[in-house]
Amino acid sequence: MEIVRIPVLSDNYVWLLHDAGSGETAVVDPAVADPVLAAAEQRGWRITQIWNTHWHPDHTGGNQAIKAATNCFITGPAAEAARIPTLDRQVREGDRVSLGGVQAEVIEVPAHTAGHIAYLIPQEKAAFVGDTLFAMGCGRLFEGSAEQMYANLQRLAALPPETRVYCAHEYTLSNARFAVTVEPDNQALARRLADVEAARAAGEATVPTTIALERATNPFIRASSAEAFAERRLGKDNFKG
């Protein structure tokens, strides 16, 4: 499977997943349509599916136009179907979504939104996590609790360390600057901050990340309890760096 990152809006990433054997292409969380359609056309790929992780407009805003242009099939969280009117299939924990010969497992990871889901592809060692887990960060708690988000992060952290994590925003530099205030003695984190600063200065993306990197440097995953996580989440909400 080939995976392509498409930067859109100010800091969103849309992901294109292409299965060469079947010729199928899926779009994960299309904020807008035109750059996604252009990226697929440039590669000669036919968009057949959209996978949504949650209802926020910067993850679903391109659904209708992409469907009109391609007649693709749209999958998303059953718990948020009322807020994603373009869905063709509603999925829940334990469901599977196929792209040619590739299968994704659906897991429910509520907290950023009440019905947020992620798509795990074990055979590709890939996870599409929307706004739940970021590089050295996590999503804000708009519709759920700290206990929920902490449990979600621990579940994701238990994935194989080589698993690549495809999140939906370029928040890494801000996240890293906050993280070093939480763990100032974490040498792996200090090195990663330097790497991220250099990458962003060169205009380079910093995602996908990996589970191994997040275990070593993500202060939200590394929190000792849900209570400690909640303190860190509040700190990040108010962080100005």
pLDDT at res. 7: 97
Question: CA neighbours within 13 Å on the CB side: how many for 226?
Answer: 11
Q: Is 237 part of the annotated catalytic residue set? A: no
CATH number at residue 229: 3.60.15.10
pLDDT at res. 241: 74
Catalytic residue among 18, 29, 56, 116: 56
Q: Is 88 part of the annotated catalytic residue set? A: no
pLDDT at res. 156: 98
Catalytic residue among 58, 88, 95, 116: 58
* Phi, psi (deg, nearest 5) at residue 47: -75, 120
Q: Which helix (H) or strand (E) holds 14?
A: strand 12-19
Q: Spell 211-239 as b/e; 16+ CB within 10 A means b.
A: bebbbbbbbbbbbeebebbbebbeebeee
Alpha helices in 71-225 (DSSP H): 146-157, 172-182, 187-201, 211-217
pLDDT tens, residue by residue, 19-78:
999 999 999 999 999 999 999 999 999 999 999 999 999 999 999 999 999 999 999 999
Low-confidence ranges of the chain (pLDDT < 50): none
Alpha helices in 107-186 (DSSP H): 146-157, 172-182
Residue numbers of the domain that contains 79: 2-237
Catalytic residue among 18, 29, 116, 131: 131
Catalytic residue among 54, 88, 185, 237: 54
In the chain, how many domains are there? 1
Q: What are the tokens at 185? A: 């003695």
Catalytic residue among 19, 29, 116, 169: 169
**What is the rounded CA–CA span in Å between residue 175 and residue 157?**
17
Closest CA to 137 of 241, 55, 3, 17: 241
pLDDT tens, residue by residue, 149-160:
999 999 999 999
DSSP label at residue 169 = B
**What is the rounded CA–CA span in Å between residue 23 and residue 9?**
28
Catalytic residue among 18, 19, 112, 116: 112
Q: Is 59 part of the annotated catalytic residue set? A: yes
Catalytic residue among 34, 59, 185, 195: 59
Q: Is 18 part of the annotated catalytic residue set? A: no
Q: Is 54 part of the annotated catalytic residue set? A: yes
